Amino acid sequence: MAKRTTKTAQTDEDIAENVVDIDVGLEMQNAFLEYSVSVIHSRALPDVRDGLKPVQRRILYSMSEMGLRPDRGHVKSSRVVGDVMGKYHPHGDTAIYDALVRMAQPFTMRLPLVDGHGNFGSLDDGPAASRYTEARLAPAALVMTESLDEDTVDFVPNYDDQLTQPGVLPAAYPNLLVNGVSGIAVGFATNMPPHNLVEVVGAARHLIAHPDCSLDDLMKFVPGPDLPLGGKIVGLDGIRDAYLTGKGTFRTRASARIEKVTPRKSGIVVTELPYLVGPEKVIERMKTLVQSKKLQGISDVKDLTDRKNGLRLVIEVKNGFNPEAVLEQLYKLTPMEDSFGINNVALVDGQPQTLGLKDLLRHYVEFRIDVVRRRTQFRLGKAQDQLHLVEGLLIAILDIDEVIQLIRSSDDTATARTRLMDVFDLSELQANYILELQLRRLTKFSRLELEKTRDELQRQIQELEAILGDEKLLHKTVSGELAEVAKKYGTPRRTVLLESAGNPVSTATPLEVADDPCWVLLSSTGLLARTSDAEPIPAEGPRAKHDAVIGAVRTTARGEVGLVTSRGRMIRISALELPALPPLGGAPSLSGGAPLAAYVDLPRGEEPITIVSLDPNGPGLALGTAQGVVKRVTADAPKAHDWEVISLKDGDSVVGAGQVVTGDEDLVFVTSDAQLLRFSASAVRPQGRSAGGVAGVRVGSGQRAVFFGVVDPAREAVVVTASGSSDALPGTQPGALKVTPYAEYPAKGRGTGGVRAHRFLKGEDTLVLAWVGATPVRASGAGGVAIELPEATGKRDGSGTPAPSVIAGLAAPPANARVT
């Protein structure tokens, strides 16, 4: 039987006591402080430099290390989550996957950083599990992580000191402002809305060029947030407060319009909802209000949202209820109007700070300048090292026979290295490089390549040294790189900024904007806006993109204007719903305007012509058609939303419209065969809305009128004509442009053919553009870029000056849509 062993029991004397008295309150305070610092630094708040939280930065870095580029296939999201959790972020997989999902959602991020494949959720539903979805880096994420291997940022140890990770990403654009962020820490919270990349980059570049600029200067570039799914922002005072102090509030409003949903019922069609508000949430709230009888007048709600047409909520209104009043109640009682509180809190040198727009841009610009400086120093050192090796190799090739003999006569590699260094005055690096030389590089062609490489390296070194030696050149380099990113990844603004609520005014609704005089403007690119003052629009001054104004109507903030279309319709537009431009102080710029499609739904083939006043005591309207018909209409307008102002024949269309104030104005036609006819407006008597007009200009067979307008003969005016070939593709016509004084053309009787306005050159047989009006005049090229026109010549029927670059930028008829 085995012998049992017994363990001697320990006595109290064997145990060494080590009791430490700790104040419980102090211990809790220190522990909570450590926890708070950990949450603030490692979880909830973004860094002001790259705009990322630690988990987001680790996800992007890990995906970059995994090679998940946009040109490669997707991988399972669970693989990315596991790699991030195992190497850099020792927290739960749910937190990592939630951050990954958010960076892939186009309705959350203005410029998504992750390209998701699968169900990444919606505004109403969560995403699928990570094992079902796939992900890779989005194109915009590449410029966040590029040049990481060029010593642009500092690397820090990971949680177990086995790997290193970047403390911040190089961030080639201001991601914090572009994509926004939200997070709750201990004692701190941040909530920043997304912005437009092009606008933010423009402000950053302006700050680089003018470090002492004011907030108003920056807000000319960044007028407000630009939400991913569009919508409307109501009230701009809170945005300015946020840009000034870092805290503010603005309201986001759904985009809705009144339509006939059935032949006997009107309805409200919602096409855009406030930021992060889903349609199911809105519908559920409506149902609750209707059941509790707090909301009346709604008979049905249909969600017709699909991938092809996007969001579309159709709210049917009961007969006998005012749709405008129902819409007001929806804005008031449902999430169709929501508030967004801005709290710009970010980490600056590890400390949470509340920052305004200028401070946010300043910190980013300083960081980006440091990144480019470090990258330039790294590239300079690398180029110098490579040049050093190439120069040594050239020395060896020049004396290759002696080098080979020296190496063959050496006992070992170390001896050969030492003899090469002594005989040819080489460094150890150069000697090692020569010893590793391949025989195929000893050809004459290789020598020429080496000399070419040496010259190229010397040129690169000079450029890099110039950047490091000149602070202005360094700033210019940073600014140029920002412009390239904006050009590559920038998109047009989606969110409309409204100074007021813009909702229909009723007796139960207080007015939010005084009914002050203003101007409503329509640009050549289809942007609508109203000015915030009634000062005359300056004709002189520099021009910018989207500011070639083709229609300007004086009205009031709560007034209405009419849009004339090519099919002879007049459509009513409320000025209150249009975005308000800041005080002009110079030539108008409609870059903050809203697209016409947001207010008017034109069928295919129907084009906007111009906007006119709907004042019943205002001027009358004159219209001209492609078949040479002219018509005058009185100023009285029906109460309908849209109506016919001229009855057109088959194949005919309106090419121009203008308002007749005194009756002494000239009505002017220009035809495609370069005939111009001017006659007095008094020769055409006003007709009713259903009339078809009278003969204006005689149009030849196969020809058409390309311009019609109203011209005041008392003012200095010019005639602009551009010729081309009818066989050429639209926008590619080679031709000539001519500007002629209007006084050179005599008046003729109505219904005649007019006089010659342009002599065609070889290869030309038609006018692709014509315009007549008061000076100064400018043309609008591709994308709305303003083009200065040459001085007017006195040759009425002469040919133009060849200007193919101008003609290529001008759009096809209707001509009055591109010259102002």
Active-site residue numbers? 132
Distance CA 538, CA 820 (A): 13
Beta strands of 324-411 (E only): which ranges? 337-343, 345-348, 351-354
Distance CA 814, CA 812 (A): 6
Query: What Å distances lie between residue 788 and 462, 527, 732, CA to CA?
Result: 40, 21, 20
Distance CA 147, CA 372 (A): 10
Beta strands of 576-684 (E only): which ranges? 580-581, 594-595, 608-613, 620-625, 629-633, 642-644, 654-660, 666-671, 675-680
Nearest of 268, 259, 267 to residue 319 by alpha carbon: 267
Amino acid letter, 67 = G
Rounded to 5 degrees, what angle do the CA atoms 81, 85, 88 make?
Answer: 120
Nearest of 757, 751, 605 to residue 667 by alpha carbon: 751
Distance CA 110, CA 25 (A): 46
Residue with tokens 């006089």: 755
Distance CA 678, CA 666 (A): 6
Tokens of 318: 């009961």
Distance CA 276, CA 407 (A): 73
Distance CA 469, CA 479 (A): 17
Distance CA 384, CA 108 (A): 45
Cα maximum dimension of the chain:
138
Task: Please tell me what DSSP assigns to residue 772.
Answer: E
Please provide the size of the chain in residues: 820
For residue 610, count CB atoms less than 10 angstroms from its CB and return exposed for 0-12, middle for 13-18, buried for 19 or more: buried
